[in-house]
Chains A and B, each alone.
Chain A
Protein backbone atom coordinates (compact mmCIF):
# COMPACT_ATOMS: atom_id res chain seq x y z
CA UNK A 1 0.00 0.00 0.00
CA UNK A 2 3.01 2.28 0.38
CA UNK A 3 3.26 2.81 -3.34
CA UNK A 4 -0.47 3.59 -3.45
CA UNK A 5 -0.21 6.52 -1.07
CA UNK A 6 2.77 7.69 -3.05
CA UNK A 7 0.44 7.99 -6.05
CA UNK A 8 -2.13 10.20 -4.34
CA UNK A 9 -2.14 13.92 -4.98
CA UNK A 10 -1.04 16.49 -2.40
CA UNK A 11 -4.71 17.43 -1.88
CA UNK A 12 -5.49 13.78 -1.16
CA UNK A 13 -2.63 13.68 1.28
CA UNK A 14 -4.12 16.48 3.35
CA UNK A 15 -7.37 14.58 3.59
CA UNK A 16 -5.56 11.51 4.80
CA UNK A 17 -3.10 13.01 7.29
CA UNK A 18 -3.93 13.99 10.80
CA UNK A 19 -4.18 17.61 11.80
CA UNK A 20 -2.75 18.99 15.04
CA UNK A 21 -5.87 17.77 16.87
CA UNK A 22 -5.42 14.21 15.59
CA UNK A 23 -8.59 14.38 13.48
CA UNK A 24 -8.43 13.80 9.77
CA UNK A 25 -10.68 15.72 7.37
CA UNK A 26 -11.79 12.36 6.05
CA UNK A 27 -13.13 11.35 9.47
CA UNK A 28 -15.64 14.15 9.19
CA UNK A 29 -16.58 13.09 5.63
CA UNK A 30 -17.14 9.51 6.85
CA UNK A 31 -19.38 10.61 9.68
CA UNK A 32 -21.37 13.02 7.50
CA UNK A 33 -21.84 10.57 4.63
CA UNK A 34 -22.76 7.58 6.77
CA UNK A 35 -25.11 9.67 8.94
CA UNK A 36 -26.92 10.97 5.88
CA UNK A 37 -27.23 7.48 4.43
CA UNK A 38 -28.33 6.09 7.79
CA UNK A 39 -30.99 8.72 8.41
CA UNK A 40 -32.18 8.43 4.81
CA UNK A 41 -32.40 4.65 4.97
CA UNK A 42 -34.12 4.65 8.34
CA UNK A 43 -36.69 7.25 7.26
CA UNK A 44 -37.57 5.00 4.31
CA UNK A 45 -38.72 2.38 6.79
CA UNK A 46 -41.53 4.65 7.96
CA UNK A 47 -43.71 4.48 4.81
CA UNK A 48 -42.88 0.80 4.38
CA UNK A 49 -44.20 0.04 7.87
CA UNK A 50 -47.02 2.58 7.81
CA UNK A 51 -48.55 1.22 4.60
CA UNK A 52 -49.68 -1.86 6.54
CA UNK A 53 -51.78 0.18 9.01
CA UNK A 54 -55.51 0.57 8.30
CA UNK A 55 -55.98 2.63 5.17
CA UNK A 56 -58.20 5.70 4.93
CA UNK A 57 -61.20 3.74 3.62
CA UNK A 58 -60.99 1.28 6.52
CA UNK A 59 -60.82 4.09 9.07
CA UNK A 60 -63.78 5.76 7.37
CA UNK A 61 -66.03 2.83 8.30
CA UNK A 62 -65.95 4.28 11.80
CA UNK A 63 -69.58 4.30 12.90
CA UNK A 64 -72.69 2.15 12.60
CA UNK A 65 -76.30 3.04 13.41
CA UNK A 66 -78.53 0.46 15.07
CA UNK A 67 -82.31 0.68 15.55
CA UNK A 68 -83.02 -1.03 18.88
CA UNK A 69 -86.82 -0.52 18.97
CA UNK A 70 -87.63 -4.02 17.73
CA UNK A 71 -85.54 -5.81 20.36
CA UNK A 72 -87.72 -7.22 23.10
CA UNK A 73 -86.68 -7.90 26.67
CA UNK A 74 -84.57 -11.07 26.87
CA UNK A 75 -83.75 -10.85 23.19
CA UNK A 76 -80.43 -9.95 21.55
CA UNK A 77 -79.33 -9.14 18.03
CA UNK A 78 -75.97 -9.52 16.29
CA UNK A 79 -74.85 -6.77 14.02
CA UNK A 80 -71.51 -5.50 12.63
CA UNK A 81 -69.27 -2.71 13.85
CA UNK A 82 -65.88 -2.20 12.12
CA UNK A 83 -66.16 -5.64 10.54
CA UNK A 84 -66.62 -7.25 13.95
CA UNK A 85 -69.77 -8.68 15.57
CA UNK A 86 -71.67 -6.37 17.90
CA UNK A 87 -74.19 -7.72 20.45
CA UNK A 88 -77.19 -5.54 21.30
CA UNK A 89 -79.29 -7.04 24.09
CA UNK A 90 -82.33 -5.83 26.01
CA UNK A 91 -82.13 -7.25 29.51
CA UNK A 92 -85.12 -8.54 31.42
CA UNK A 93 -85.83 -7.25 34.96
CA UNK A 94 -84.55 -10.55 36.42
CA UNK A 95 -81.32 -10.31 34.42
CA UNK A 96 -80.76 -6.75 35.68
CA UNK A 97 -81.38 -7.84 39.28
CA UNK A 98 -79.06 -10.80 38.80
CA UNK A 99 -76.30 -8.54 37.50
CA UNK A 100 -76.75 -6.00 40.30
CA UNK A 101 -76.77 -8.71 42.99
CA UNK A 102 -73.12 -9.60 42.33
CA UNK A 103 -70.48 -8.24 44.70
CA UNK A 104 -68.17 -6.61 42.17
CA UNK A 105 -65.11 -7.06 44.36
CA UNK A 106 -65.34 -10.77 43.51
CA UNK A 107 -65.10 -10.09 39.78
CA UNK A 108 -62.02 -10.54 37.63
CA UNK A 109 -62.75 -7.26 35.82
CA UNK A 110 -64.82 -5.31 38.36
CA UNK A 111 -67.55 -3.18 36.77
CA UNK A 112 -71.16 -2.55 37.65
CA UNK A 113 -73.98 -2.96 35.16
CA UNK A 114 -74.59 0.81 35.37
CA UNK A 115 -71.03 1.46 34.28
CA UNK A 116 -71.59 -0.74 31.25
CA UNK A 117 -74.86 0.87 30.09
CA UNK A 118 -76.12 4.40 29.42
CA UNK A 119 -78.18 6.33 31.93
CA UNK A 120 -81.89 6.02 31.17
CA UNK A 121 -81.21 2.95 29.05
CA UNK A 122 -80.11 0.59 31.79
CA UNK A 123 -81.69 -2.36 30.03
CA UNK A 124 -79.73 -1.94 26.78
CA UNK A 125 -76.48 -3.88 26.97
CA UNK A 126 -74.29 -3.14 23.94
CA UNK A 127 -71.00 -5.02 23.72
CA UNK A 128 -68.58 -6.29 21.13
CA UNK A 129 -69.22 -9.93 20.28
CA UNK A 130 -65.55 -10.71 20.56
CA UNK A 131 -64.31 -12.92 23.39
CA UNK A 132 -61.51 -11.14 25.24
CA UNK A 133 -59.57 -14.39 25.41
CA UNK A 134 -58.60 -15.04 21.79
CA UNK A 135 -61.26 -13.36 19.70
CA UNK A 136 -63.94 -15.98 19.03
CA UNK A 137 -67.62 -14.98 18.83
CA UNK A 138 -69.37 -16.07 22.06
CA UNK A 139 -72.76 -17.80 21.94
CA UNK A 140 -75.86 -16.36 23.59
CA UNK A 141 -77.01 -13.60 21.30
CA UNK A 142 -78.88 -15.94 18.97
CA UNK A 143 -82.20 -17.59 19.73
CA UNK A 144 -81.70 -20.80 21.73
CA UNK A 145 -77.94 -20.52 21.98
CA UNK A 146 -76.05 -21.63 25.05
CA UNK A 147 -75.77 -18.64 27.40
CA UNK A 148 -73.33 -20.31 29.79
CA UNK A 149 -73.53 -20.88 33.54
CA UNK A 150 -74.21 -17.20 34.30
CA UNK A 151 -76.96 -16.60 31.75
CA UNK A 152 -75.06 -14.11 29.60
CA UNK A 153 -72.71 -15.33 26.90
CA UNK A 154 -70.63 -18.45 26.53
CA UNK A 155 -67.57 -18.73 24.36
CA UNK A 156 -67.31 -22.29 23.04
CA UNK A 157 -63.68 -21.97 21.91
CA UNK A 158 -62.08 -22.15 25.35
CA UNK A 159 -65.07 -22.11 27.69
CA UNK A 160 -65.37 -18.52 28.93
CA UNK A 161 -68.64 -17.74 30.73
CA UNK A 162 -69.99 -14.18 30.81
CA UNK A 163 -72.86 -13.06 33.02
CA UNK A 164 -75.94 -11.00 32.16
CA UNK A 165 -73.86 -7.81 32.18
CA UNK A 166 -71.39 -9.59 29.80
CA UNK A 167 -68.75 -9.64 32.55
CA UNK A 168 -66.25 -12.48 32.63
CA UNK A 169 -67.11 -14.92 35.42
CA UNK A 170 -65.41 -18.20 34.58
CA UNK A 171 -62.89 -19.45 32.05
CA UNK A 172 -59.69 -18.07 30.55
CA UNK A 173 -60.85 -14.68 29.24
CA UNK A 174 -59.16 -11.83 31.15
CA UNK A 175 -61.70 -9.02 30.64
CA UNK A 176 -65.41 -8.32 30.26
CA UNK A 177 -66.83 -8.10 26.74
CA UNK A 178 -65.82 -4.67 25.49
CA UNK A 179 -68.43 -1.93 25.53
CA UNK A 180 -67.74 0.24 22.47
CA UNK A 181 -68.22 3.97 22.42
CA UNK A 182 -71.83 4.72 21.52
CA UNK A 183 -74.66 7.14 22.12
CA UNK A 184 -78.43 7.21 21.77
CA UNK A 185 -79.22 9.64 18.98
CA UNK A 186 -82.95 9.16 19.74
CA UNK A 187 -84.93 6.89 22.07
CA UNK A 188 -84.61 4.01 19.67
CA UNK A 189 -81.48 4.63 17.56
CA UNK A 190 -77.92 4.03 18.73
CA UNK A 191 -74.87 5.29 16.88
CA UNK A 192 -71.88 3.11 17.66
CA UNK A 193 -68.35 4.53 17.17
Chain B
Protein backbone atom coordinates (compact mmCIF):
# COMPACT_ATOMS: atom_id res chain seq x y z
CA UNK B 1 0.00 0.00 0.00
CA UNK B 2 1.68 3.13 -1.20
CA UNK B 3 -0.33 5.69 0.68
CA UNK B 4 1.40 8.52 2.49
CA UNK B 5 1.10 7.57 6.14
CA UNK B 6 0.43 10.17 8.82
CA UNK B 7 2.77 10.19 11.83
CA UNK B 8 -0.02 8.75 13.93
CA UNK B 9 -0.45 5.85 11.63
CA UNK B 10 3.32 5.34 11.55
CA UNK B 11 3.32 5.20 15.31
CA UNK B 12 0.47 2.73 15.35
CA UNK B 13 2.33 0.61 12.84
CA UNK B 14 5.49 0.48 14.86
CA UNK B 15 3.49 -0.40 17.93
CA UNK B 16 1.78 -3.19 16.11
CA UNK B 17 5.02 -4.46 14.68
CA UNK B 18 6.36 -4.60 18.19
CA UNK B 19 3.28 -6.51 19.36
CA UNK B 20 3.90 -9.09 16.70
CA UNK B 21 7.52 -9.43 17.83
CA UNK B 22 6.24 -10.08 21.31
CA UNK B 23 3.87 -12.66 19.96
CA UNK B 24 6.64 -14.48 18.16
CA UNK B 25 8.82 -14.40 21.22
CA UNK B 26 5.92 -15.76 23.24
CA UNK B 27 5.43 -18.59 20.79
CA UNK B 28 9.12 -19.42 20.80
CA UNK B 29 9.31 -19.51 24.59
CA UNK B 30 5.73 -20.81 24.88
CA UNK B 31 5.16 -18.16 27.52
CA UNK B 32 1.74 -16.53 27.70
CA UNK B 33 3.42 -13.62 29.41
CA UNK B 34 4.53 -12.06 26.12
CA UNK B 35 1.19 -12.67 24.50
CA UNK B 36 -0.54 -10.62 27.17
CA UNK B 37 1.92 -7.86 26.54
CA UNK B 38 1.20 -7.89 22.83
CA UNK B 39 -2.53 -7.75 23.51
CA UNK B 40 -2.14 -4.88 25.90
CA UNK B 41 -0.26 -2.74 23.43
CA UNK B 42 -2.69 -3.54 20.70
CA UNK B 43 -5.76 -2.70 22.74
CA UNK B 44 -4.32 0.64 23.75
CA UNK B 45 -4.24 1.43 20.04
CA UNK B 46 -7.88 0.60 19.61
CA UNK B 47 -8.96 4.15 18.79
CA UNK B 48 -6.30 4.57 16.14
CA UNK B 49 -6.86 1.31 14.32
CA UNK B 50 -7.39 1.81 10.63
CA UNK B 51 -7.86 -0.85 7.99
CA UNK B 52 -4.78 0.24 6.09
CA UNK B 53 -2.63 0.07 9.21
CA UNK B 54 -3.70 -3.49 9.85
CA UNK B 55 -3.37 -4.31 6.19
CA UNK B 56 0.14 -2.89 6.07
CA UNK B 57 1.23 -5.00 8.99
CA UNK B 58 -0.50 -8.03 7.63
CA UNK B 59 1.22 -7.69 4.28
CA UNK B 60 4.58 -7.19 5.94
CA UNK B 61 4.03 -10.25 8.03
CA UNK B 62 2.71 -12.17 5.11
CA UNK B 63 5.86 -11.70 3.06
CA UNK B 64 7.99 -13.02 5.92
CA UNK B 65 5.68 -15.77 7.03
CA UNK B 66 5.16 -17.19 3.50
CA UNK B 67 2.78 -19.89 4.53
CA UNK B 68 -0.19 -20.69 2.39
CA UNK B 69 -2.62 -21.16 5.24
CA UNK B 70 -1.82 -17.83 6.81
CA UNK B 71 -2.42 -16.20 3.47
CA UNK B 72 -5.80 -17.84 3.36
CA UNK B 73 -6.74 -16.54 6.73
CA UNK B 74 -5.41 -13.09 6.01
CA UNK B 75 -7.34 -13.01 2.78
CA UNK B 76 -10.47 -13.45 4.78
CA UNK B 77 -9.44 -10.58 6.97
CA UNK B 78 -8.75 -8.39 3.97
CA UNK B 79 -12.04 -9.23 2.43
CA UNK B 80 -14.00 -8.36 5.49
CA UNK B 81 -12.08 -5.12 5.82
CA UNK B 82 -13.24 -4.19 2.39
CA UNK B 83 -16.72 -5.05 3.63
CA UNK B 84 -17.39 -7.56 0.95
CA UNK B 85 -19.18 -10.68 2.12
CA UNK B 86 -16.74 -13.42 3.10
CA UNK B 87 -16.83 -16.81 1.56
CA UNK B 88 -16.13 -19.03 4.49
CA UNK B 89 -12.79 -20.50 3.49
CA UNK B 90 -11.97 -23.05 6.13
CA UNK B 91 -8.67 -21.66 7.31
CA UNK B 92 -6.67 -24.60 8.49
CA UNK B 93 -3.81 -22.85 10.15
CA UNK B 94 -0.60 -24.76 10.53
CA UNK B 95 1.92 -22.06 11.23
CA UNK B 96 1.75 -19.46 13.97
CA UNK B 97 -1.98 -19.23 14.30
CA UNK B 98 -1.43 -16.74 17.10
CA UNK B 99 -0.29 -14.00 14.77
CA UNK B 100 -3.04 -14.70 12.32
CA UNK B 101 -5.71 -14.64 15.01
CA UNK B 102 -4.19 -11.57 16.55
CA UNK B 103 -4.53 -9.69 13.29
CA UNK B 104 -8.01 -11.06 12.92
CA UNK B 105 -8.87 -9.80 16.37
CA UNK B 106 -7.64 -6.32 15.51
CA UNK B 107 -9.76 -6.31 12.38
CA UNK B 108 -12.74 -7.44 14.37
CA UNK B 109 -12.17 -4.59 16.79
CA UNK B 110 -12.11 -2.14 13.93
CA UNK B 111 -15.29 -3.57 12.47
CA UNK B 112 -17.07 -3.41 15.80
CA UNK B 113 -16.04 0.17 16.46
CA UNK B 114 -17.23 1.22 13.05
CA UNK B 115 -20.50 -0.65 13.17
CA UNK B 116 -19.89 -3.26 10.48
CA UNK B 117 -21.70 -5.86 12.51
CA UNK B 118 -22.48 -8.40 9.86
CA UNK B 119 -19.02 -8.65 8.35
CA UNK B 120 -17.60 -8.66 11.87
CA UNK B 121 -19.77 -11.61 12.79
CA UNK B 122 -18.63 -13.42 9.66
CA UNK B 123 -15.00 -12.68 10.40
CA UNK B 124 -15.16 -13.86 14.00
CA UNK B 125 -16.93 -16.97 12.86
CA UNK B 126 -13.94 -17.76 10.62
CA UNK B 127 -11.58 -17.03 13.50
CA UNK B 128 -13.52 -19.32 15.82
CA UNK B 129 -13.29 -21.98 13.15
CA UNK B 130 -9.51 -21.44 13.03
CA UNK B 131 -9.22 -21.76 16.80
CA UNK B 132 -10.94 -25.11 16.76
CA UNK B 133 -8.22 -26.52 14.50
CA UNK B 134 -5.32 -25.14 16.51
CA UNK B 135 -5.27 -25.89 20.21
CA UNK B 136 -2.20 -24.39 21.77
CA UNK B 137 -1.51 -22.99 25.17
CA UNK B 138 -0.07 -19.78 23.79
CA UNK B 139 -3.28 -19.28 21.88
CA UNK B 140 -5.29 -19.13 25.07
CA UNK B 141 -5.35 -15.35 25.77
CA UNK B 142 -6.04 -14.50 22.16
CA UNK B 143 -8.75 -17.06 21.62
CA UNK B 144 -10.58 -15.98 24.76
CA UNK B 145 -10.75 -12.47 23.35
CA UNK B 146 -11.85 -13.74 19.97
CA UNK B 147 -14.77 -15.49 21.65
CA UNK B 148 -15.63 -12.35 23.53
CA UNK B 149 -16.00 -10.40 20.31
CA UNK B 150 -17.73 -13.33 18.64
CA UNK B 151 -20.43 -13.20 21.30
CA UNK B 152 -20.45 -9.42 21.20
CA UNK B 153 -21.15 -9.27 17.47
CA UNK B 154 -24.00 -11.72 17.83
CA UNK B 155 -25.40 -9.77 20.73
CA UNK B 156 -25.33 -6.51 18.84
CA UNK B 157 -26.95 -8.25 15.90
CA UNK B 158 -29.56 -9.54 18.38
CA UNK B 159 -29.23 -13.21 17.53
CA UNK B 160 -27.32 -14.38 20.58
CA UNK B 161 -28.95 -17.80 20.56
CA UNK B 162 -27.26 -18.63 17.23
CA UNK B 163 -23.83 -18.29 18.80
CA UNK B 164 -24.60 -20.89 21.46
CA UNK B 165 -23.83 -24.20 19.69
CA UNK B 166 -20.36 -23.07 18.60
CA UNK B 167 -19.55 -21.76 22.04
CA UNK B 168 -20.68 -24.96 23.71
CA UNK B 169 -18.51 -27.12 21.49
CA UNK B 170 -15.64 -24.67 21.95
CA UNK B 171 -16.10 -24.94 25.70
CA UNK B 172 -15.72 -28.68 25.44
CA UNK B 173 -12.57 -28.30 23.33
CA UNK B 174 -11.08 -25.68 25.63
CA UNK B 175 -11.70 -27.85 28.69
CA UNK B 176 -10.00 -30.81 27.05
CA UNK B 177 -7.05 -28.75 25.85
CA UNK B 178 -6.62 -27.09 29.24
CA UNK B 179 -7.06 -23.60 27.88
CA UNK B 180 -8.10 -22.04 31.13
CA UNK B 181 -8.73 -18.49 30.11
CA UNK B 182 -10.75 -19.48 27.09
CA UNK B 183 -12.76 -21.84 29.24
CA UNK B 184 -13.43 -19.14 31.81
CA UNK B 185 -14.43 -16.71 29.08
CA UNK B 186 -16.74 -19.19 27.42
CA UNK B 187 -18.45 -20.11 30.66
CA UNK B 188 -19.06 -16.47 31.40
CA UNK B 189 -20.31 -15.76 27.91
CA UNK B 190 -22.63 -18.73 27.96
CA UNK B 191 -24.10 -17.64 31.27
CA UNK B 192 -24.69 -14.21 29.84
CA UNK B 193 -26.24 -15.82 26.82
CA UNK B 194 -28.64 -17.89 28.91
CA UNK B 195 -29.55 -15.02 31.17
CA UNK B 196 -30.28 -12.87 28.15
CA UNK B 197 -33.06 -15.30 27.29
CA UNK B 198 -33.94 -15.84 30.97
CA UNK B 199 -33.01 -19.48 30.76
CA UNK B 200 -32.11 -19.63 34.44
CA UNK B 201 -32.63 -23.37 34.57
CA UNK B 202 -30.10 -24.07 31.89
CA UNK B 203 -27.66 -21.54 33.27
CA UNK B 204 -27.91 -23.17 36.66
CA UNK B 205 -27.28 -26.58 35.17
CA UNK B 206 -24.26 -25.29 33.29
CA UNK B 207 -22.67 -23.94 36.45
CA UNK B 208 -23.48 -27.09 38.37
CA UNK B 209 -21.89 -29.32 35.75
CA UNK B 210 -18.76 -27.30 35.06
CA UNK B 211 -15.98 -25.89 37.17
CA UNK B 212 -14.76 -22.37 36.72
CA UNK B 213 -10.94 -22.30 36.45
CA UNK B 214 -9.52 -21.10 39.75
CA UNK B 215 -6.74 -19.03 38.21
CA UNK B 216 -8.85 -17.16 35.69
CA UNK B 217 -8.15 -13.44 35.32
CA UNK B 218 -9.88 -11.25 37.85
CA UNK B 219 -12.16 -9.41 35.47
CA UNK B 220 -13.57 -12.68 34.17
CA UNK B 221 -13.95 -13.96 37.69
CA UNK B 222 -15.85 -10.86 38.72
CA UNK B 223 -18.25 -11.20 35.84
CA UNK B 224 -18.73 -14.87 36.45
CA UNK B 225 -19.48 -14.23 40.11
CA UNK B 226 -22.07 -11.65 39.15
CA UNK B 227 -23.88 -14.08 36.87
CA UNK B 228 -23.73 -16.77 39.53
CA UNK B 229 -25.16 -14.36 42.07
CA UNK B 230 -27.94 -13.41 39.71
CA UNK B 231 -28.94 -17.00 39.06
CA UNK B 232 -28.87 -17.87 42.74
CA UNK B 233 -30.97 -14.84 43.59
CA UNK B 234 -33.63 -16.01 41.14
CA UNK B 235 -33.56 -19.49 42.64
CA UNK B 236 -33.99 -18.16 46.18
CA UNK B 237 -30.51 -19.14 47.26
CA UNK B 238 -30.01 -15.72 48.79
CA UNK B 239 -27.06 -16.30 51.09
CA UNK B 240 -24.96 -17.80 48.30
CA UNK B 241 -26.06 -15.02 45.98
CA UNK B 242 -25.05 -12.42 48.53
CA UNK B 243 -21.56 -13.90 48.95
CA UNK B 244 -21.02 -14.09 45.22
CA UNK B 245 -22.28 -10.61 44.48
CA UNK B 246 -20.20 -9.11 47.26
CA UNK B 247 -17.14 -10.90 45.96
CA UNK B 248 -17.91 -9.66 42.45
CA UNK B 249 -17.90 -6.05 43.61
CA UNK B 250 -14.63 -6.57 45.44
CA UNK B 251 -12.86 -8.38 42.60
CA UNK B 252 -13.79 -5.81 40.00
CA UNK B 253 -11.45 -2.84 39.92
CA UNK B 254 -13.20 0.33 41.01
CA UNK B 255 -12.41 2.89 38.35
CA UNK B 256 -14.39 4.81 35.82
CA UNK B 257 -14.28 1.97 33.31
CA UNK B 258 -16.01 -0.47 35.62
CA UNK B 259 -18.61 1.96 36.97
CA UNK B 260 -21.33 0.31 34.89
CA UNK B 261 -20.48 -3.12 36.21
CA UNK B 262 -20.41 -1.88 39.78
CA UNK B 263 -23.80 -0.26 39.34
CA UNK B 264 -25.38 -3.36 37.89
CA UNK B 265 -23.99 -5.61 40.57
CA UNK B 266 -24.96 -3.28 43.36
CA UNK B 267 -28.54 -3.06 42.15
CA UNK B 268 -29.04 -6.77 42.57
CA UNK B 269 -26.91 -6.82 45.69
CA UNK B 270 -29.20 -4.34 47.42
CA UNK B 271 -32.26 -6.41 46.62
CA UNK B 272 -30.67 -9.64 47.76
CA UNK B 273 -29.67 -7.99 51.02
CA UNK B 274 -33.23 -6.83 51.50
CA UNK B 275 -34.60 -10.26 50.68
CA UNK B 276 -32.35 -11.74 53.33
CA UNK B 277 -33.83 -9.33 55.82
CA UNK B 278 -30.72 -7.16 56.07
CA UNK B 279 -30.64 -3.45 55.41
CA UNK B 280 -27.71 -2.39 53.21
CA UNK B 281 -25.37 0.29 54.54
CA UNK B 282 -26.47 3.84 53.99
CA UNK B 283 -22.92 4.71 52.90
CA UNK B 284 -23.34 2.44 49.87
CA UNK B 285 -25.86 4.87 48.41
CA UNK B 286 -23.49 7.81 48.86
CA UNK B 287 -20.70 6.51 46.63
CA UNK B 288 -20.51 9.06 43.78
CA UNK B 289 -20.72 6.55 40.93
CA UNK B 290 -23.60 4.69 42.54
CA UNK B 291 -25.63 7.53 43.96
CA UNK B 292 -27.77 8.34 40.95
CA UNK B 293 -28.49 4.88 39.52
CA UNK B 294 -29.26 3.50 42.97
CA UNK B 295 -31.75 6.23 43.85
CA UNK B 296 -34.84 4.04 43.28
CA UNK B 297 -33.21 1.29 45.27
CA UNK B 298 -32.56 3.68 48.13
CA UNK B 299 -36.25 4.55 48.28
CA UNK B 300 -37.10 0.88 48.15
CA UNK B 301 -34.73 0.17 51.02
CA UNK B 302 -36.29 2.94 53.07
CA UNK B 303 -39.76 1.52 52.51
CA UNK B 304 -38.65 -1.97 53.54
CA UNK B 305 -36.79 -0.66 56.56
CA UNK B 306 -39.82 1.08 57.99
CA UNK B 307 -42.08 -1.76 56.98
CA UNK B 308 -44.54 0.56 55.25
CA UNK B 309 -46.46 -1.50 52.73
CA UNK B 310 -48.19 1.47 51.11
CA UNK B 311 -44.91 3.28 50.55
CA UNK B 312 -43.38 0.13 49.16
CA UNK B 313 -46.17 -0.24 46.60
CA UNK B 314 -45.73 3.43 45.71
CA UNK B 315 -42.03 3.02 45.02
CA UNK B 316 -42.58 -0.10 42.96
CA UNK B 317 -45.27 1.62 40.94
CA UNK B 318 -43.21 4.75 40.47
CA UNK B 319 -40.07 3.02 39.23
CA UNK B 320 -41.67 0.03 37.57
CA UNK B 321 -40.09 0.77 34.20
CA UNK B 322 -36.66 1.23 35.72
CA UNK B 323 -36.88 -2.03 37.60
CA UNK B 324 -38.16 -3.80 34.55
CA UNK B 325 -35.22 -2.52 32.55
CA UNK B 326 -32.83 -3.67 35.24
CA UNK B 327 -34.54 -7.05 35.09
CA UNK B 328 -35.27 -7.14 38.80
CA UNK B 329 -39.01 -6.48 38.97
CA UNK B 330 -39.86 -10.07 39.84
CA UNK B 331 -37.23 -10.07 42.57
CA UNK B 332 -38.71 -6.91 43.99
CA UNK B 333 -42.20 -8.39 44.01
CA UNK B 334 -40.86 -11.00 46.38
CA UNK B 335 -39.92 -8.28 48.83
CA UNK B 336 -43.55 -7.72 49.79
CA UNK B 337 -43.52 -10.16 52.64
CA UNK B 338 -40.19 -8.80 53.85
CA UNK B 339 -41.88 -5.45 54.22
CA UNK B 340 -44.59 -7.04 56.32
CA UNK B 341 -42.01 -8.87 58.41
CA UNK B 342 -40.11 -5.65 59.03
CA UNK B 343 -43.38 -4.02 60.08
CA UNK B 344 -44.20 -6.82 62.49
CA UNK B 345 -40.72 -6.70 63.92
CA UNK B 346 -40.84 -3.01 64.66
CA UNK B 347 -44.30 -3.40 66.21
CA UNK B 348 -43.12 -6.20 68.45
CA UNK B 349 -40.16 -4.13 69.59
CA UNK B 350 -42.33 -1.13 70.36
CA UNK B 351 -45.26 -2.84 72.08
CA UNK B 352 -45.17 -5.51 74.70
CA UNK B 353 -48.81 -6.27 74.07
CA UNK B 354 -50.93 -5.21 71.10
CA UNK B 355 -54.27 -6.33 69.76
CA UNK B 356 -54.45 -8.10 66.40
CA UNK B 357 -56.83 -5.43 65.21
CA UNK B 358 -54.22 -2.73 65.71
CA UNK B 359 -51.60 -4.76 63.88
CA UNK B 360 -54.04 -5.16 61.05
CA UNK B 361 -54.60 -1.40 60.86
CA UNK B 362 -50.94 -0.50 61.15
CA UNK B 363 -49.81 -2.85 58.41
CA UNK B 364 -52.80 -2.19 56.14
CA UNK B 365 -53.75 -5.86 56.12
CA UNK B 366 -57.09 -7.06 54.81
CA UNK B 367 -58.48 -8.85 57.84
CA UNK B 368 -57.76 -9.71 61.45
CA UNK B 369 -57.67 -13.38 60.65
CA UNK B 370 -54.95 -12.75 58.10
CA UNK B 371 -53.04 -10.74 60.65
CA UNK B 372 -53.21 -13.63 63.07
CA UNK B 373 -51.80 -16.09 60.56
CA UNK B 374 -49.11 -13.67 59.48
CA UNK B 375 -47.99 -13.05 63.04
CA UNK B 376 -48.04 -16.79 63.73
CA UNK B 377 -45.83 -17.38 60.72
CA UNK B 378 -43.47 -14.61 61.78
CA UNK B 379 -43.16 -16.26 65.18
CA UNK B 380 -42.45 -19.62 63.62
CA UNK B 381 -39.84 -18.14 61.24
CA UNK B 382 -38.08 -16.56 64.18
CA UNK B 383 -38.74 -12.99 63.07
CA UNK B 384 -40.23 -12.08 66.46
CA UNK B 385 -40.41 -13.78 69.81
CA UNK B 386 -43.98 -13.60 71.02
CA UNK B 387 -47.11 -15.57 71.79
CA UNK B 388 -50.65 -15.05 70.54
CA UNK B 389 -53.64 -15.09 72.85
CA UNK B 390 -56.42 -16.18 70.56
CA UNK B 391 -59.36 -15.74 72.93
CA UNK B 392 -58.50 -12.15 73.82
CA UNK B 393 -57.11 -11.34 70.40
CA UNK B 394 -53.73 -9.87 71.26
CA UNK B 395 -50.07 -10.57 70.73
CA UNK B 396 -47.78 -10.67 73.75
CA UNK B 397 -44.09 -10.05 73.03
CA UNK B 398 -41.63 -12.13 74.98
CA UNK B 399 -39.02 -10.36 77.08
CA UNK B 400 -36.09 -9.19 75.06
CA UNK B 401 -33.14 -11.26 76.02
CA UNK B 402 -29.54 -10.29 75.85
CA UNK B 403 -27.97 -11.24 72.51
CA UNK B 404 -24.63 -11.65 74.21
CA UNK B 405 -26.01 -14.59 76.13
CA UNK B 406 -26.53 -16.50 72.93
CA UNK B 407 -23.96 -17.76 70.49
CA UNK B 408 -24.89 -15.15 67.87
CA UNK B 409 -21.89 -12.86 68.45
CA UNK B 410 -19.64 -15.84 68.21
CA UNK B 411 -21.12 -16.76 64.84
CA UNK B 412 -20.62 -13.22 63.65
CA UNK B 413 -16.98 -13.30 64.72
CA UNK B 414 -16.50 -16.67 63.13
CA UNK B 415 -17.81 -15.38 59.81
CA UNK B 416 -15.40 -12.44 59.88
CA UNK B 417 -12.42 -14.55 60.88
CA UNK B 418 -13.21 -17.00 58.09
CA UNK B 419 -13.34 -14.13 55.63
CA UNK B 420 -9.96 -12.72 56.76
CA UNK B 421 -8.30 -16.11 56.63
CA UNK B 422 -9.77 -16.71 53.18
CA UNK B 423 -8.45 -13.37 52.01
CA UNK B 424 -5.01 -14.15 53.39
CA UNK B 425 -4.92 -17.55 51.73
CA UNK B 426 -6.10 -16.14 48.43
CA UNK B 427 -3.42 -13.47 48.43
CA UNK B 428 -0.74 -16.01 49.20
CA UNK B 429 -1.95 -18.13 46.33
CA UNK B 430 -2.05 -15.26 43.89
CA UNK B 431 1.46 -13.98 44.64
CA UNK B 432 3.89 -14.50 41.80
CA UNK B 433 7.56 -15.21 42.12
CA UNK B 434 9.80 -14.50 39.15
CA UNK B 435 11.50 -17.86 38.84
CA UNK B 436 14.84 -17.08 37.19
CA UNK B 437 15.82 -14.09 39.34
CA UNK B 438 16.01 -15.84 42.63
CA UNK B 439 18.17 -18.53 41.10
CA UNK B 440 20.63 -15.83 40.06
CA UNK B 441 20.60 -14.49 43.59
CA UNK B 442 21.19 -17.95 44.88
CA UNK B 443 24.19 -18.32 42.56
CA UNK B 444 25.67 -15.05 43.80
CA UNK B 445 25.25 -16.04 47.45
CA UNK B 446 26.93 -19.31 46.66
CA UNK B 447 29.74 -17.32 45.11
CA UNK B 448 30.08 -15.15 48.24
CA UNK B 449 30.11 -18.22 50.43
CA UNK B 450 32.84 -19.79 48.32
CA UNK B 451 34.94 -16.64 48.44
CA UNK B 452 34.55 -16.44 52.19
CA UNK B 453 35.62 -20.01 52.58
CA UNK B 454 38.70 -19.37 50.43
CA UNK B 455 39.48 -16.32 52.49
CA UNK B 456 39.22 -18.24 55.72
CA UNK B 457 41.47 -20.88 54.25
CA UNK B 458 44.07 -18.32 53.25
CA UNK B 459 43.88 -16.66 56.65
CA UNK B 460 44.54 -19.99 58.25
CA UNK B 461 47.60 -20.48 56.07
CA UNK B 462 48.79 -16.95 56.78
CA UNK B 463 48.89 -17.61 60.49
CA UNK B 464 51.82 -19.82 59.92
CA UNK B 465 53.62 -17.26 57.74
CA UNK B 466 53.60 -14.63 60.44
CA UNK B 467 52.56 -10.99 60.09
CA UNK B 468 54.65 -10.02 57.11
CA UNK B 469 51.93 -10.35 54.53
CA UNK B 470 49.06 -8.72 56.39
CA UNK B 471 49.34 -5.40 54.56
CA UNK B 472 49.38 -7.09 51.23
CA UNK B 473 46.27 -9.04 52.12
CA UNK B 474 44.42 -5.93 53.16
CA UNK B 475 45.03 -4.51 49.75
CA UNK B 476 43.81 -7.72 48.21
CA UNK B 477 40.55 -7.43 50.08
Q: Do A and B bind each other?
A: no
